[in-house]
Structure 1
Amino acid sequence: MTTTKWMLGALAAFAMTPGLAQAQTKLTWAHVYEVTEPFHTESVWAAEEIKKRTEGRYEITVYPASQLGKEADLNQGLTLGTADIIISGSSFASREYPPIGVTYYPYIFRSPDHLLAYTRSDVFKTLAAGYEEASGHHIAAVTYYGTRQTTANKPIKTCADLAGVKMRVPDVPAYLAMPRACGANTAPIAFAEVYLALQNGTVEAQENPLTTIEAKKFYEVQKYIALTGHIVDHLNTVVSQTRWASLSDADKQIFSDVMLEAAARATKIVEEREAALVQTFRDRGVDVAEVDKADFEKTVREKAPLETYGYRQADYDAIRAVQ
C-alpha cells in the first residue's frame, strides 16, 4: 500500500469513528448548593442528559457549593465567561432588571403550584425577556426552592407578634418587606453564623424554608415555627448570553427541554421533603403552627407597598391572576 493510499484510508476511518467527526464543547455549570441538595443532583442529571441527547457534543461539568464563587460571583461569571450556566435567585436577576424581583414580594404566590403556573404564563415570558434584554442572559427554567417560614423563641400568630423581635433576614429588599412591615428589628447576619446567633440570643427569630431549617438544625435553638409562608422562593437556571447565542435552534430546544425537566424533578423532591417535615418537627417537640396569613398580607401591602421596591403593579396583578 502506498503512503498516499494509507493516509486516505486512515482519514476515512477517522471520519467514520463515532464522536470524532465533530469537536466536543465543554461547558461550566455552577451554583452555591451542597451536593446532597436536589439543585445539584438534578443539575448533574441534566448535564448527562444534554450530553446524551446531543450525542456527546456537549460535556458539562457541574460545580457545586460555591466552588466557583458566591452567588454574586457566579452572576458576574456569566458576563466574564467563567460560567456558562448558573442557578441563581431572582434577587440577583433583579439587579440587572428590577421588575423581575416582584416574584419575591411577600404573598404574591399562593402556593408552589401557583409559582409553576406563573413560569408557563405570558407574564413570566415578558419578565424573562426583559431580563434577557437588560443582561443578555437567558432564563431557561425556574425551580421551586421552598416556601419561607419563620422560626422564633416565642409563638407567632399574627404580624403584630413580630413587633420588636430581633430577626435575622437576608439583606435583600423583598425579603425584608414582611419582617419590617410587622415591626421586627432586622439584622443581616451571615448565613453561616445564624445558628450561633439564635443560640446566644443575638437574634430571636429567622426565616427560611423548612428544608433549610432542618438542614441547618435551627429547630434545635428555636422551638416555635410559624407557617408564615410569606415567600414562595425559587431559583432560575440561567444560560450566559455568549453560550446561548452559540447554540443552534435545535440545541437550544434540547437545553430548554432538559433544564425544564430538571427543574420539575428538583421541585418535586423539595415539595415532598417539605410535606414530611411538618410532622417531623412536631415529633421532635417543636411547636409548628398556622398563622393569620390575611393579617400578614394586609400589613405588608399597607406598610411595604411594592412600588417602593421598584416593582410594577401591572406585573403583580398579572401574576396574581395566573391560575
Structure 2
Amino acid sequence: MKLWKQTLFVIAASAFAVGASAQTKLKWAHVYETSEPFHKWSVWAAGEIGKRTNGKYQIDVFPASQLGKENDINQGLALGTVDIIISGSSFASKSYPPIGVTYYPYVFRDADHLLKYTKSDVYRDLTKGYEEKTGNRIVATTYYGARQTTSNKPIAKCADMKGLKIRVPDVPAYLAMPRACGANTSPIAFAEVYLALQNGTVEAQENPLTTIEAKKFYEVQKNIVLTAHIVDHLNTVVSGKLWKQLSEDERKMFTEVTQEAAQKASADVVAREKELVDVFKQKGLSVTEVNRDEFRDTVLKTVKFEDFGYRKADWERIQAVK
C-alpha cells in the first residue's frame, strides 16, 4: 500500500510538472501588419517552438503595434512586458550605438549582401556587443526590403528633396539621407503615417515597397522614387530574462526555428519586391529610377559616422563582405 501511494504521488507530481510547463506563456510583439511575411512566419515560429517543446512554451504573437510602438516594445524587453520582438537594428542602436552602422545609407549593396553580412564576423561582433550591453539576444535577422521614397512631387535627384516634409522614423541613421539632401524630417509614429500623408502633415515618407503595399501608402502618394538608400533588416530579439531561463537545448532550438522563419520571410520579401514596381505602375503611380551614387556621395560628404556613435571600421568590414 505504501509503495502504491508513493507511485501515485510520483505520477501526480509528474502530471503537475507537465501542466505547469504548459502554462509558460510568452508574448511576441511587432509593429507590422498581419498580411506581411514578418507576421506570417512569426506565427509559424511560435507554433513550431510550441510543438518542439511539447507545449511547454505557448507563444502569442501580437502584430500591428498591439503591444506598443517600436520604442515601446524595445523597452518592453527590459520591463518584462514582452518576451520576443521583431525590430530593426536602428532601435537596438539606441542601447548600443555601433550596431546602427547597418542603417548608415548605402552600407549594403543589396539583399544578398545583407544576408551574407548576417553570417559574418562583424555581425557576430555587433550582435554580441548589443547583448553585452542589454542582456537581450538577437537570434535571427530578416531582410526587410530596400527603403524607397514616396512623395507628392517628382524627385529626380538629391537636391529635389530640399524643403520636402518627409516622415522618417525617430532614429538618427534614418535621418541621414533626407537631411543630407535638404529635406525637413518629421518622426511620426509608424501607425500614424497613412493619416499624416493623407491630411498633408507630411508630403513624403520612406519604406520598402512591400510596406508601401501593406500600409497602402500608394493610395495617398503619387510618386515612388527608387532611392534604395537603406537595405533594411529586422532582428528577432529574445529578452535577457527569457534567454537566461532557457536550457542550452532550448536556446539552440529557439535559434534554429527563428532563423528558419527569417529565411522564409526574407525569401518572400525578395520575391514580392521584384513584382511590385509593375504593380504600382499599373495603379497609376509614377515610379522613378535615380542615380543612387549621387545620393550616396552626398551622404558620405555630409554625414560623419562618429556623429551617430558608429565606427567607420565596422562600415569598412561590412563593405568587405562578399
Q: TM-score, normalised by structure 2?
A: 0.92
Change (3 A) 1:15 1:271: same
**Counterparts of residues 1-323 of structure 1 (less than 5 Å):** 2=1, 4=2, 6-8=4-6, 10-11=8-9, 20=18, 23-24=21-22, 25-323=24-322
Change (3 A) 1:18 1:194: closer
User: How much does 1:46 deviate?
Assistant: 0.7
User: How much does 1:289 deviate?
Assistant: 1.7
SS in 2 for 1:23: helix
SS in 2 for 1:29: strand
Paired residues of 2:86 and 2:235 also in contact (CA < 8 A): yes
Distance 1:40 1:281 in 2: 23
Distance 1:192 1:256 in 2: 29
Spell out, residue by residue over 1:224-280, the C-alpha distance to the aligned partner (whole angstroms, 9 max, x if none). 111000011111111111211222211111111001001111111222222111100
Spell out, residue by residue over 1:117-152, the C-alpha distance to the aligned partner (whole angstroms, 9 max, x if none). 111100000000000110011100111122110112
Paired letter, 1:81: G
User: How much does 1:11 deviate?
Assistant: 4.5
Distance 2:213 2:238 in 1: 31
Deviates more, 1:160-169 or 1:109-118: 160-169
Deviates more, 1:56-65 or 1:35-44: 56-65
SS in 1 for 2:93: helix
Unaligned stretches of 5+ residues in structure 1? none
Paired residues of 2:150 and 2:224 also in contact (CA < 8 A): yes
CA RMSD of aligned residues (A): 2.2
Paired residues of 1:15 and 1:21 also in contact (CA < 8 A): no
Q: Percent identity?
A: 63
Deviates more, 1:158-167 or 1:134-143: 158-167
Change (3 A) 1:7 1:268: same
Paired letter, 1:146: G
Distance 2:150 2:41 in 1: 29
Deviates more, 1:242-251 or 1:289-298: 242-251
Spell out, residue by residue over 1:163-208, the C-alpha distance to the aligned partner (whole angstroms, 9 max, x if none). 2222222222111100110111222334344334434444332211
Paired letter, 1:69: G
Deviates more, 1:169-178 or 1:152-161: 152-161
The structure having more radius of gyration, on CA atoms, is 1
Distance 1:193 1:80 in 2: 25
Paired letter, 1:110: R
Q: How many residues are paired up?
A: 321
Deviates more, 1:128-137 or 1:194-203: 194-203
SS in 1 for 2:170: coil
Paired letter, 2:76: G
Distance 2:33 2:234 in 1: 15
Deviates more, 1:65-74 or 1:289-298: 65-74
Distance 1:244 1:191 in 2: 29
User: How much does 1:17 deviate?
Assistant: 7.2
